[in-house]
Structure 1
Amino acid sequence: MSDEITSISGLGPASAQGFARAGITSAQQLRALGAHEAYRAWLAAGNGAHFIGYYALHMALQGRPWNDCRGAEKANLRKSFDALCTEAKAAPPPKDKGHTRLDAALDDIGLRKKR
């Protein structure tokens, strides 16, 4: 069994790149952190916040399709996501090797050579 992040059904290359920027490079690391803490690292690395990505990550780590999230479960995840985003906005900017949120955005749109 592959330990690539993309080996988790529902997570593709874009997710793997975003998690790599956060220092999460394997499916094992991602599972050990859990969806909420992994997404905290995702945000701290300067990746964009997207509710669908947050709940899709929760579903993927449970082996469920992303669109299986509904009702009260989705509402509770929305509360957790909003709280996490509020915390992330209040946190000091990341200081990992000079890689800033601007760097991440420029990487995402292909204006810089990715590190």
Structure 2
Amino acid sequence: MSDPVSSIRNLGPAFEQSCTRAGIHSAQELRALGADEAYARILQTSVRPHFIGYYVLVMGLQGRPWNDCKGSEKKALRERFDKIKANATVAPDSQLAAELDAIGVRVSAADLKPQS
């Protein structure tokens, strides 16, 4: 039987819902993916990136209290988080993307090129 995501230390029902939207349905799946891949998948569902949420996940997967991250370890995690955030893309079929398309907010890379 699979354990729920919320069985992992520090992770509650709201985080479990985010995981479900990202296609992560058990604590075992989350552990197998690891914090970085799991968080990247969560960001693809239009969740706003938040460093505390990321490091709470990392600490939880290590079985540590959420606020146990300090100093150089926290700095290194921040660098990993920034890379994940920079590489995050919202899935084109996401609710957010659909809403942005409906009101004409999204632009393509070609739209951003300077006019000659």
Q: Which TM-score applies when normalising by structure 1? A: 0.79
Q: CA deviation at 1:19?
A: 0.7
* Structure 2 residue runs without a partner (length 5+): 99-116
Q: Percent identity?
A: 53
* Contact kept? 1:39, 1:54, Cα under 8 Å: yes
Asked which structure has the greater CA Rg, the reply is: 2
- With over 3 angstroms needed to count, the CA separation of the structure-2 counterparts of 1:77 and 1:14, relative to structure 1, is same
> 2:23 corresponds to which residue?
23
Aligned partner of residue 20 in structure 1, secondary structure: helix
Structure 1: 4+ residue segments shifted above 3 A: none
> 2:51 corresponds to which residue?
51
Q: CA RMSD in A?
A: 1.7
Q: CA deviation at 1:26?
A: 0.5
Deviations 1:30-86 (A, max 9, x none): 000000110010101111110000001000000000100000000000011111111
Count of residue pairs the alignment pairs up:
98
Kindly indicate whether residue 7 of structure 2 is the aligned counterpart of residue 10 of structure 1. no
* Contact kept? 2:19, 2:42, Cα under 8 Å: yes
Q: Which TM-score applies when normalising by structure 2? A: 0.78
* Contact kept? 2:2, 2:26, Cα under 8 Å: no
- Counterpart CA distance in 2 for 1:5 and 1:21 is 12
